[in-house]
Structures are given as structure tokens and as C-alpha cells.
Amino acid sequence: MGGEKKFGVLLCAEDSDYIKKRYGGYFGVFVEMLAEEGETWDVFRVANGEFPDDDEIAEFDGFVITGSCNDAHGNDVWICRLISLLKKLDSLKKKVLGICFGHQILSRALGGKTGRAVSGWDIGVTTIHLSSSSSKFFSSLEIPTTLPIIECHRDEVRELPPKAEVLAWSEKTGIEMFKYGSHMMGIQGHPEYTQDILFHLIDRLTQRGYIEDWYGDELKAKLEEVEPDKDAWKNLCTSFLKDRL
């Protein structure tokens, strides 16, 4: 029993009825991608003010920070609390994987800068290019130098924290992935997303007026043309989180 690993998902988004019904919420989506036999996974709905207690943190081997509709450069109470938690996790050298908003807020907590992306929305399947730093970091994995990933964001990491390294870039986004030490990593894209989830999000963005209907239709048509490399991303994320690099 003592060898069992324990992980926590810091949920920064509200689950839509569709995501709850189809996937058991975003927590279910992450568990589907990352969980392995013999592990315990817990969820903390941080956007609703639900955080792990200080004495609980020591029980966890690592944490995953999810995406969010909120801005990582905002100062909502829960966002400020999350930044404090991430600083504590850094001091304890806990494994932390940040996804999309999680990537941005992790960078901010460590001293980086985030904001609106100069190039605007990036929605769809984007090809990212792995840097020379990443080839060393992931040397034990057989990962290609370019990887398609689902993206859905209009904010970005503008400036890395001191001592952080860029692991990947794309034509639209200069910092698609970064690492800080060997215990913290951010990914701007969504390795956990299916095309079905992105279709659902495009519908929500058009309904709420964030993007035009014609643009939503165009994005959906393009999604039929290329698939994200989900197996490679699963391998990369689980290997990082579980210290197998």
C-alpha cells in the first residue's frame, strides 16, 4: 500500500452539463488520460474555493492544473490563492503539470508574465515544434520533433519565469511548453481534449459571442483534416508527472 501514488487535479473550470454527462466532468477527462492502476486521484474545485489543506499536500505525489474560462492575469480571490499554492508546491518540489490556463498561471506564480495573445485566438489542431531543451528533457521517450495538439486559447505566456526553459513553440505562440527545474511543466495546448470536446467548446464560444458563427463553422471543417497525436501526449504527460523521464 505504501507504494501507491496519489495525484490531485486542481479544477479551474466549471463543468458544462454536456461534459458532465459524456465524460464525468473535466476531472474524468484527465483521469482517462493520466491515471494508471494502483493510483489515487482526487479533485479540488479551486475555482469554487476548494483547495487542499496544508497538511494534505504532503500526501500527494503531484498535481495537474486544468484550463479555465478565466484569465491567468486576473486577480480573482481564487486565482490569488492558487498562485500561493503553486509557490508552496514549488518550494516542496512537488510535480506540477499545467494545462492551458494552468500553463499560464504556473508561469505567473513562478515569476513569468501572461496576457492576451498578440495573434488572437488559437483554436484547432496546432503543430508545435520541440526545442533542443526538450530533446534532452524527454530523451528517454521516442517523441517526434513536431507534435499536433488541440488548442483553444486567447491568452499566452509572454515572458518565462527566471530559470525556466522553453520546451516547444508554434507559428502562433512562442512559448507552447516550458519547464521549471525538473518538477514543473506547462503545456499551452490541451493534450487531454478529444475533437468532440473542442466541437462542444466552439459551439459555446459562438453562443456566447466570443467568435463569429462563420468562424466556428470554418474551425469545425478544419478539424476534420488533422488529428492530434494523443498517444504521444499521454506518454509525455504521464512520464513527466510520474518521474519516469
CA distance 204 to 2: 44
Q: What is the DSSP string of 112-136?
A: -EEEE-TT--EEEEEEEEE-HHHHH
Catalytic residues: 100, 190, 192
Q: Cβ distance 89 to 160 under 8 Å?
A: no
Question: In the chain, where does DSSP find H-type helix?
Answer: 17-23, 25-34, 54-57, 77-91, 101-109, 132-137, 195-207, 213-223, 230-241
Task: Identify the burial level of 71 via C-beta atoms within 10 angstroms of its C-beta, where 0-12 means exposed, 13-18 middle and 19 or more buried.
Answer: middle
Amino acid making up residue 55: D
Q: Cβ distance 145 to 130 under 8 Å?
A: yes
What are the cell numbers at 45? Answer: 474545485
CA distance 80 to 219: 34
Q: Cβ distance 113 to 205 under 8 Å?
A: no
